[in-house]
Amino acid sequence: MPIHTYTNWNVRPSDAEEQIEPFRKYFFICEGANTETYYFRKLVDLRKALNIHPLIDIRLMEKTEEHSNLSYPKKLLEFAETLKDDESLDFDKKHDKMIVIFDADIFEEKVLGYEVLINKGEKSNIIGITNPGFEVFLLMHIEGAFEKYIKDKNDKFFELDEKNRYRHAYNMLLDATGMNSKTNSKIGNLAENVFVAIEQEKLINQDIHNVKGVVSSNIASIIEGIIGDRP
């Protein structure tokens, strides 16, 4: 199977206790291989601390083998659909949710068809978007980040560097944390501040249908929904 599932679901605390299965599982599959993995692994570990309902499980699907570098949003959504039919994943199409997360930055200059992709993907998945990159979402975990780094500075996030990359969000996160989000796994510890992110994300654009040229993220909103899910 070209995927590794990371979960801390305790299906059987002891042989004497009846095995409990989750009512609903939320599967995260992400475009990025490093930064997103650092974050969502930590979020999975925090499931109980976040007061996520005991019958709700969150799982990170880590791409492996030939799929490890699969990142193009259309291909990622197609891959997510195939995974739902993989018996080893135990995806219950009635109750479980697939959350597909990717950056919208490639749709700024290079790629067309964003709205068609989103509309199709939303029919059977939850879509998590950051624009221009995942670091925007991570910035939201830092107290006062909106006021300091984002308010009245939207256009800075869409300036290209000498290598034609949107790096402002990455640079601001580096400035705020002292950590390289691409290589330092400790960046995942920001998940401990997810309630800060939930509140600050409401100050930026969360509408994934209107992200072009706008600093955007709806990932904290998705997590808020999971925390509030009561079967």
Rounded to whole angstroms, the Cα distance separating 164 from 182 reads 18
Number of domains the chain is built from: 1
8 A C-beta contact, residue 29 and residue 86: no
The confidence score (pLDDT) of residue 16 equals 47
Q: In this predicted model, what pLDDT tens digit does every residue of 75-97 receive, in sequence order? A: 899 999 999 998 888 899 999 99
The amino acid occupying position 97 is K
Angle at 62 between CA 209 and CA 174, to 5 degrees: 70
- Residue 1 confidence (pLDDT) above 80: no
User: What is the span of the domain harbouring residue 87?
Assistant: 3-8+21-227
State both tokens at 143: 């107290």
Residue 216 lies in a domain: yes
Residue 160 lies in a domain: yes
8 A C-beta contact, residue 80 and residue 29: yes
Rounded to whole angstroms, the Cα distance separating 45 from 60 reads 11
Rounded to whole angstroms, the Cα distance separating 42 from 208 reads 25
The amino acid occupying position 3 is I
Residue 14 lies in a domain: no
Q: Where are the beta strands (DSSP E) in 43-161?
A: 56-63, 97-103, 126-131
3-state secondary structure of 168: helix
Burial (Cβ within 10 Å: 0-12, 13-18, ≥19) of residue 77: buried
Only one residue has tokens 């939201």, namely 140
Q: In this predicted model, what pLDDT tens digit does every residue of 18-77 receive, in sequence order? A: 557 889 999 999 987 789 999 999 999 999 999 999 999 999 998 765 544 555 899 899
Q: Is the peptide bond before 2 cis (omega within 30 degrees of 0)?
A: no
**Residue 11 φ/ψ, nearest 5 degrees:** -75, -25
The confidence score (pLDDT) of residue 12 equals 46
Residue 16 lies in a domain: no
What is the arrangement of strands in the sheet containing 56-63, beginning at the earlier edge strand? 3-6, 56-63, 24-30, 97-103, 126-131, 216-217
Q: Which of 90-94, 109-113, 130-134, 190-194 shows the lowest per-residue confidence on average (mean pLDDT)?
A: 109-113
Nearest-10 crossing angle of helices 73-84, 114-121: 10
User: What mean pLDDT do residues 157-163 have?
Assistant: 94
Gyration radius of the chain's alpha carbons = 18
The confidence score (pLDDT) of residue 105 equals 93
- In angstroms, the Cα distances linking 61 to 83, 100, 101 are 10, 10, 11
Q: Which of 1-15, 92-106, 184-198, 199-213 shows the lowest per-residue confidence on average (mean pLDDT)?
A: 1-15
Rounded to whole angstroms, the Cα distance separating 44 from 37 reads 10
